[in-house]
Amino acid sequence: MTSIEKANNLLVDLHVKYIQSLDTKKDDLEYWFTEHLRLSGVYWGLTALDLLKNVNMLNREDVVKYVVSCGFGGHIGHDPHLTHTLYAVQILVIEDALDSVNTEKIIEYVKSRQDPQTGAFTGDEWEEIDTRFSYCAISCLSLLKRLDAIDVKKAIEFIMLCKNFDGGFGNTPGAESHAVFCCVGALAIVNSLHLVDADLLGWWLCERQLKNGGLNGRPEKLEDDPESGGIADRPGDMVDVFHTLFGIAGLSLLGYPDLKSVDPVYCLPKYVVQRIGLAERYHV
């Protein structure tokens, strides 16, 4: 295979092996330094494997057992957080194992994170506010089909306060556009995309693409793969499972052959979203 052929071919076997290897590195210091990312890593790895048509390469029983043992935290014994609550629900939806947890408790927790005055969501008991947590709450409750548990109207109002002059969305009102996926995704789930200034945001988004084809996350920054097609953040850098998922999800959205379709609103395989009966809210 020439180097150009290599560059144009997704080496599925190698990606699968890489993801499988992640949990076997318990002798590495790095493994323990990244403990807080363990549950997140399972979501990124499992979703990537599923899109690569290799979901069975992680043992389902082990995965479900681990997720249940994390409670609402990022790893066993960690404090609960809204972000990890979403990751746990996403993993369980992929594994079709929601019945292994008490979903009422999850719904109660997510509900408790909403500020009744502003509609904003706090990540955990330390009460940091961020629209990314709004997405976590809305996506999570939507997957559990219990959006009725929160004040959706207020949640939308808060997200709209974070809309900026460049058409993007920030983490809090007045903050730089850096939470576009989460705000637009949340609005999509609650059928409120009409509130987005599509032409202005469309320009902001396509302006993220650089001459080398890569996309950056904010104006005047370097390209990074969460938005484009590598498997590290950029050519020559170390690979990681986070960028592997978003690289593969990006390729899936672009219609790359031999990948399952990804749902861009939930960042889950499309068949999973269809299986639980959630309507498709976009057209590629």
Give the footprint of other proteins on this chain (CB under 8 A): 29, 164-166, 170, 172-177, 202-204, 206-207, 209-211, 213, 218-221
Residues near 64 by beta carbon (within 8 Å), at least 6 away in sequence = 91, 92, 95, 97, 100
For other proteins, give the closer residue by CB, 166 or 224: 166
Question: Look-up: residue for tokens 């953040």?
Answer: 233
- Mind giving me the DSSP string for 234-283? STTSPB-HHHHHHHHHHHHHTT-TT---EETTTTEEHHHHHHTTPPP---
For other proteins, give the closer residue by CB, 151 or 197: 197
For other proteins, give the closer residue by CB, 202 or 235: 202
Q: How far is the CB of 174 from other proteins (least distance, A)?
A: 4
Q: How far is the CB of 87 from other proteins (least distance, A)?
A: 24
For other proteins, give the closer residue by CB, 207 or 280: 207
Q: How far is the CB of 127 from other proteins (least distance, A)?
A: 13
Closest to 41 measured CA to CA, from 26, 23, 25, 28: 23
Q: How far is the CB of 126 from other proteins (least distance, A)?
A: 9
Closest to 265 measured CA to CA, from 85, 135, 158: 135
For other proteins, give the closer residue by CB, 165 or 282: 165
Q: Which two tokens stand for residue 100?
A: 């292994």
Q: How far is the CB of 27 from other proteins (least distance, A)?
A: 13
Closest to 132 measured CA to CA, from 101, 95, 177: 177
